[in-house]
Amino acid sequence: MKDITDLIAQRAEMLYGPSIPHHGTSTHATAFHAEASPPGTPPPPPDFASCLLSAPELAAMQMVPRTPLLGEWMREGDLGYLFAPRGGGKTWLAMLIGKALAEGVSLGQWAAGQGPRSVYYFDAEMNQQDVQTRAEKIGISHPSFYWLSNEYLYMTLTHSANIADPRHQEGLSNMLPDGSVFIIDNLSTGQSGMRENENDDFDVIKDWLLSLRRRAITVIIVHHAGRNGEMRGGSRREDPAHWILSLKDATEDGSSAKGFVTRFSKCRNCRERDAPPLRWSLKETNGRFMVYCDPFGNTDAMLTYIQDGITSANELAEVFGVQASAISKWAKKLMNAGLIRKRGREYQLIEE
């Protein structure tokens, strides 16, 4: 004879279909909770158990690889940060990246991705005339590159966009097509009401950014460096990022060319050796910028890493993807030049 729980489960299966067993609860309990709640009662909790995947089920799923967009380091749906001190060249590089993505071409040492993308560049800082001038110097003219200027928004709608405002988030989401690229320049001027140093305040935009990821929208956020050289503000915003790209000014004294060095402090999509430091130079000729890019020399790059706190031979070897003997050889050159010294297992800068 069947007991009462078997009869209830059988009746529920007839009404609602087969139940899904989950950890810690019998099939009978799952079926019983499928009954509709009486009017006026709170809705039942989410049925997270229905979304459980066993290890074999996950392994058997057919995943579609995320499309490469630029080099080995950027893929469709990424959330990434590009940061530098004031005047470090972050807006120039952000515009160059947007141009390359809109045209589907390479940029410097970074290979082109799989086809062009629609790019939406939200400028929340500069005057529109300055944006126009920079676009002309870089040569941004592709019809799939769109500008959203806070100054033009204010002239047109009498208010600017605020990425921390849920209504504005909805408006921006409606503007962005699936699979597009959204560049926010920059985090400080693009929002109001979110305190930079308070980690909890980042929750105001975190869920919205994750909703864009689920639509395969790539988001690039331009931000400032703090006095310590790291990205300014609370660190929680870095957790969901696929990559973080830093810039350091490398403009030579007396030179009219803008120079900077790029280095990834975080990169989920590839190994550090596949996204090495690069030295960039923007030289103006007849009102247009020519872009030059070369690998950042081993000893120069090593000196930069030591400045950033990567000081042991093993850590440096991991970053460069070389043997510790190569690190020792480069370190000897730097020590002979009077730039570093070795204390125990650590390399230290020699301050002038």
SS3 labels along 236-261? HHHCCCCEEEEEEECCCCCCCCEEEE
For 90-116, what is each residue's pLDDT tens digit?
A: 999 999 999 999 999 999 999 999 999
Tell me: do 140 and 166 sit in the same domain: yes
In this structure, the answer to whether residues 101 and 227 fall within a common structural domain is yes
Other C-beta atoms closer than 10 Å to the C-beta of 213 total 16
Mean pLDDT rounded to a whole number for the chain:
87
**Shared-domain flag, residues 19 and 167:** no
79 within 8 A of 209, measured Cβ to Cβ = yes
Confirm whether 67 is domain-assigned: no
Residue 325 included in any domain? yes
Task: Give the tens place of pLDDT for each residue, 162-205.
Answer: 999 999 999 999 999 999 999 999 999 999 988 888 888 888 89
Q: Domain containing 319 — which CATH number?
A: 1.10.10
Range of the domain at 26: 1-36
| 7 plus 130 within the same structural domain | no
142 and 275 assigned to the same domain:
yes
Q: What distance in Å separates the CA atoms of residue 324 and residue 211, rounded to the nearest whole number?
A: 43
175 CB-near residues (< 8 Å, 6+ apart): 120, 148
Q: Tell whether the model's pLDDT for residue 75 goes beyond 90.
A: yes
Calculate ∠ Cα 249-113-243, nearest 5°.
Answer: 45
Q: Which of 209, 271, 256, 276 is nearest to 236 (CA)?
A: 209
Instruction: Tell me the CATH number at 150.
Output: 3.40.50.300
Question: At 72, is the pLDDT very low, low, confident or very high (cuts 50, 70, 90)?
Answer: very high
Q: Identify the residue whose tokens are 């500008």.
A: 147
Residue 276 in this model has a pLDDT that exceeds 60: yes
Are both 98 and 231 inside the same structural domain?
A: yes
Residue 16 three-state SS: helix
Confidence of residue 321 (pLDDT cuts 50, 70, 90): low
Q: Tokens 């800068």 appear where?
A: 349
Say if residue 90 is in the same domain as residue 152: yes
Please state, in angstroms and as integers, the Cα–Cα distance from residue 304 to each residue in 85, 271, 307, following that order.
16, 19, 5
Are residues 81 and 146 both part of a single domain? yes
Question: What is the maximum alpha-carbon separation in the chain?
Answer: 94
pLDDT score recorded for residue 79:
98
Q: Which of 334, 292, 298 is nearest to 317 (CA)?
A: 298
Residues 20 and 137 in one domain: no
Mean pLDDT of 30-57: 79
Q: What is the structure's pLDDT at 165?
A: 95
Count how many domains the chain has.
3
